[in-house]
Amino acid sequence: MPVRLNAAEETLIAQLRDAGDGAQAERLNVTGLPTRRVESYHYTDLKMLLKAVPPLVEAANSASAPALRVAGAYQLLIANGVPHPGTTAPAGVIVGTSDGAALSAHDDVLVRLNSALAKKSLSLTLEGSVDPIIQIDRRTEGAAAHSASSARIFVADNGSATILETYSGSSEAHVTNNASYIAVGRNATVTHITVDLSGDGVTHFATNEYVLAEGAKLRTLAIHAGSALARTQIFARFAGEGAHGDFGGLNLVGDGQHLDFTLDVNHGVPNTTSQEMFKQVGRGRSKGVFQGKIVVARDAQKTDAKMMMQGLMLSDQAEILSKPELEIYADDVVCGHGSTCGELDADSMFYLMSRGISKPEAETMLVRGFLEEVLDPIEDDELNEALTAVIDDWLVGAKQR
């Protein structure tokens, strides 16, 4: 029996057909957007939450200033889905564009939409040790629009790089669908950070896909500090022995927001390790979501993987939802997961206020302490300060709804 389509679904189907992807249009026509019955969207029912989709984006005539500046970073721009290769690249950085989207095939509606609608991908090859931070500044400008953007990044064997991606633009009710594919070469070291600073009315989707070769070291951090509705989904695949991944995320959820992290980490070979640490802070009538899955394949013996979600609720109306999962087919592994959620410690609040600190200041100090663990591993001072400023802006109410 065909599903009843809402306005958003009908618009997406028409856009897919206009983009020449009749197969995906027909699939969406039959299935519709995922509801809570789809396990990976159990807490983020897109059919209910996504009521309308604006027209497909047009080329940007101009671009605003970056929403986040890091001194010394080499900046690349993706404006309204179109990559701009930029100025002369630093040593070891090869910049270009390629046709089509960057992601591998996944049974996921956001991946399929991005693959159909993103016509050009920013292409980056990083060779050796790249000194400056690479900042990919993704912006959606102008009137409300549906934008798809894509980046494909290769880090060569024995290379090292820090890549920062920021999302922002005009304050209209955009729907953005962003993709990043990062292949980490043998014994390479990569830090990848994404920060959503979109406006209050924006719907922000992002998919980050990672493939780790032998001996690769990856650290990721995704921060939600904007948008009314946001979902960042992470697909990571360990393809070489000795690889290690640290996956981190921070949901700063204000009144009226629904922000979602969904994680799928696949240990496919022996002797790999990972740590997953996600934190959520909610205030007002808000909803923060974390869904995390670690899959250990049958041949992936000696896997060591640990996942933790910690939530902090600053109001009675805040909701923090968490679903960590382990799916283990090997028998010689060390794996675990945990989840905690609560309010600010009353004794700590009393101690600070008894020393003459106001209640708002005391609350801010305790929340900063709660979040320190997420930022401490970021060794670059300029980048750490910029990310700390994002958190401080949210704490003092710059992103409060």
pLDDT (tens digit, 9 = 90+) per residue, 258-302?
999 999 999 999 999 999 999 999 999 999 999 999 999 999 999
For residues 332 and 349, what is the distance between their CA atoms, to the nearest angstrom? 44
69 in any annotated domain:
yes
Final residue before a domain boundary, out of 303, 321, 344: 344
| Listed range (35-44, 47-56, 86-95, 173-182) with the worst mean pLDDT | 86-95
pLDDT band at 60 (very low <50, low <70, confident <90, very high): confident
pLDDT of residue 3: 82
Least Cα distance to 247 among 221, 208, 273, 225 occurs for: 221
Q: Which residue has the higher pLDDT, 210 or 58?
A: 210
Residues 290 and 253 in one domain: yes
* Domain tally, the chain: 2
185 three-state secondary structure: coil
pLDDT of residue 360: 84
Residues sharing a CB contact under 8 Å with residue 61, sequence separation 6 or more, in sequence order: 141, 142
255 is a domain residue: yes
Please tell me whether residue 10 adopts helix, strand or coil conformation: helix
Give the structural domain span for 392.
Answer: 345-401
- Looking at the domain assignment, is residue 274 inside a domain? yes
Residue 48 inside a domain? The answer is no
Same domain for 196 and 282: yes
- Taking the model in full, what pTM does it have? 0.95
At 34, the amino acid letter reads P
The predicted pLDDT at position 88 comes to 86
Residues 263 and 370 in one domain: no
163 shares its domain with 211: yes
> Are residues 329 and 368 located together in one domain of the fold?
no
Q: Is the pLDDT of residue 62 over 80?
A: no
Q: Measured between alpha carbons, how far is residue 218 from residues 73, 231, 335 in Å?
A: 20, 21, 19
Specify the pLDDT at position 1.
55
DSSP state string for 133-177: -EEEEEEE-SSS-EEEEEEEEEE-TT-EEEEEEEEEE-SS--EEE
Whether residue 33 lies inside any domain: the answer is no
Question: Which pLDDT value is given to residue 398?
Answer: 43
Q: How confident is the model at residue 61 (pLDDT cuts 50, 70, 90)?
A: low
Residue-level pLDDT at 400: 42
Identify any residues that bridge with 194 across adjacent strands, giving them in sequence order: 165, 222
pLDDT of residue 42: 95
Residue 56 domain-assigned?
Answer: no
| 207-261: pLDDT as tens digits | 999 999 999 999 999 999 999 999 999 999 999 999 999 999 999 999 999 999 9
Residues 327 and 352 in one domain: no
Q: Is 374's pLDDT higher than 70?
A: yes
Helices (H), 187-324: none
Side chain identity at 54, as an amino acid letter? P
Instruction: Output the average pLDDT for the chain.
Output: 93
Across the range 180-202, mean pLDDT stands at 97
Whether residues 379 and 312 fall in one domain: no
Answer yes or no: do 237 and 368 share one domain.
no
In a domain, 100, yes or no: yes
Average pLDDT for 10-23? 96
Question: 344, 370, 386 — which closes off a domain?
Answer: 344
Residues 326, 360 share a domain: no
Say how far residue 338 (Cα) sits from the centre of its chain.
21
- Same domain? For 285 and 364 the reply is no
Q: Is 269 in the same domain as 349? A: no
Domain annotation covers residue 45? no
pLDDT of residue 373 exceeding 70, the answer is yes
Residue 218's φ and ψ, nearest 5 degrees, are -130, 135
Instruction: Select from 344, 363, 384 the last residue of a domain.
Output: 344
Q: For residues 251 and 391, state if they share a domain.
A: no
